Amino acid sequence: MTDTEKVKRSGRPRAFDPEAGVAAATRLFWEKGYDAVGVAELAQTIGINPPSLYAAYGSKRELFARAVAHYAGTQGRFFARLDADGPAYETLISVLEDAARAGTGDATARGCLVLDGTRNCTDSGARALTAEVRAGLREKAHALIARDRPEVADSAADYFMFVLTAISGSAIDGVPLDRLMQDIALAGQGLGAMLGRG
Amino acid sequence: MTDTEKVKRSGRPRAFDPEAGVAAATRLFWEKGYDAVGVAELAQTIGINPPSLYAAYGSKRELFARAVAHYAGTQGRFFARLDADGPAYETLISVLEDAARAGTGDATARGCLVLDGTRNCTDSGARALTAEVRAGLREKAHALIARDRPEVADSAADYFMFVLTAISGSAIDGVPLDRLMQDIALAGQGLGAMLGRG
DNA sequence: CCTTTTCTGTATCGGTCACTAAAAAAACCT
DNA sequence: AGGTTTTTTTAGTGACCGATACAGAAAAGG
């Protein structure tokens, strides 16, 4: 008995799908970054007026929070593999490669929303949102590494985030996927030396 | 006979030092990024009013260009070592380490102005400015590597910029210098494998 | 002295920012 | 139908954005 059924309520029904609105907002935030996207632009892209946006989502920052969550569940879904119990080195490398693919996937993809979406952002709340997700990613990587090699988990998890940062920033700067794959292979040598590949 | 003497001209003399203004603007652009700094804030920090700023520098973008040049000649001076004729691997690593030091040097240092100062920036002219400097850096690294190992110059120069991107982004995200040094050592293994250390 | 030139501060330009007050519109209820 | 609830649209709020018009002030040349 899944409770996803919509409860019938009084009042004028909403003329748009809030989840579809979040998806559209995610695209916009991803392409331009938090500060560079205006509320008027968000509303127009969703197909509504600003008051409807505020009624549905509360504020630009809360909509961004929804967008980050949506992004994590779609573009960033491959990070869930860090929770699996495969070999650490191979898992980390494959996640880095998927990150490169996601950050260069289509013409409008520009790096990673979580890593670079709030760079130079004036809203500290928005910055804190992405920072929390980044901390969660580091924690996942740390836990994966610590299962087999607890003594290098701190260093390796830091290095994983370091390389992730390079991937997102480079993707934004226009480095194509095949170059990113080369870079990941080179960066992976440091990871392999610490973790032992295989 | 250096021609740095100021030419005496008619008219009311300028009440501030334009070069000192550029230095102050550089700090501001570095700390907050291009878009997040307003003209009013720039003028106030320099100690002038907006009209004086426009009279002296032309526009916010032109002042930013001056700031980038000033930054390259001060914070980024160590990149000149890429032009020296030392061993490629050691030179590249030491430059990366200096970049980490510059990006975490004091409390207000936030990564690299050239690498991250125009992230999520809405002014395409400002973005082009930093991109040109980045391309120049890559070119320097490429030339250094190509002297001894032309067959890997493309890959190694790309990887050098990849690691540089990670350093700046990580510094902004709060990674301390000692962790960055560890990360550089790990990333350097990929560089060493290509270039041969020594 | 007076004119010319350049810089100064004040006060503001039109445009956009995130956000909202108010009322019309579209559904439900009795 | 009449009343209630919620969303819609219209039309704005004050604050800030980059950039300037204007007039007074401070120097030089005559």
C1’ C6 / CA B57, Å: 15
Task: Write out the DSSP string of B83-103.
Answer: GS-S-HHHHHHHHHHHHHHHH
Q: Which of residues 7-36 of B touch A (CB under 8 A)?
A: 32-36
What pLDDT shows up at residue B169? 98
Instruction: Give the mean model confidence (pLDDT) for residues A85-91.
Output: 95
d(CA B136, CA A150): 41
Can you read off the two tokens belonging to residue A8? 């019938």
How many contacts (CB atoms, under 8 Å) link A and B?
125
Determine the straight-line distance between the first and last CA of chain A, rounded to whole angstroms.
44
Residue burial B64-82, b: 16+ Cβ < 10 Å; e: rest: bbbbbebbbeebbeebeeb
What pLDDT shows up at residue B110? 86
Tell me the whole-structure pTM to 2 decimals.
0.95
| Sequence spans of domains, chain A | 17-70, 77-194
Radius of gyration, alpha carbons of chain B: 19
Instruction: Give the mean model confidence (pLDDT) for residues A107-129.
Output: 94
Q: Which pLDDT tens digit goes with each residue over B102-131?
A: 999 887 778 999 999 999 999 999 999 999
Q: Is the pLDDT of residue A84 over 50?
A: yes
Residue burial A51-70, b: 16+ Cβ < 10 Å; e: rest: ebbeebbeebeebbbbbbeb
CB B163 within 8 A of CB B96: yes
CATH number of the domain located at residue range(s) A17-70 in this protein: 1.10.10.60
What pLDDT shows up at residue B3? 40
Query: Hey, is the C-beta of B157 within 8 angstroms of any chain A C-beta?
Result: no
Q: Is the pLDDT of residue A8 over 80?
A: no
The nucleotide whose C1' lies nearest the CA of B9 is D28
d(CA B173, CA B116): 12
Alpha carbon separation from B120 to A28, A85, A112, A189, B67 (Å, rounded): 12, 37, 12, 31, 19
Q: Which of A41, A115, A119 to mutate: most B Cβ within 10 Å?
A: A119
In chain B, positions 23-82 with C-beta closer than 7 Å to nucleic chain D are: 35, 37-41, 49-51, 53-54, 59-61
Q: Mind telling me how many Å the CA of B154 is from chain A's nearest CA?
A: 10
Residue of B nearest to A169 (CA): B165
Q: Which pLDDT tens digit goes with each residue over A136-175?
A: 999 999 999 999 999 999 999 999 999 999 999 999 999 9
Can you read off the two tokens belonging to residue B37? 């700094």
Percentage of residues in chain A having pLDDT higher than 90: 89
User: Could you tell me the pLDDT band of residue A9, with boundaries at 50, 70 and 90?
Assistant: confident
- Which stretches in chain B have pLDDT values below 50? 1-5
What pLDDT shows up at residue A2? 33
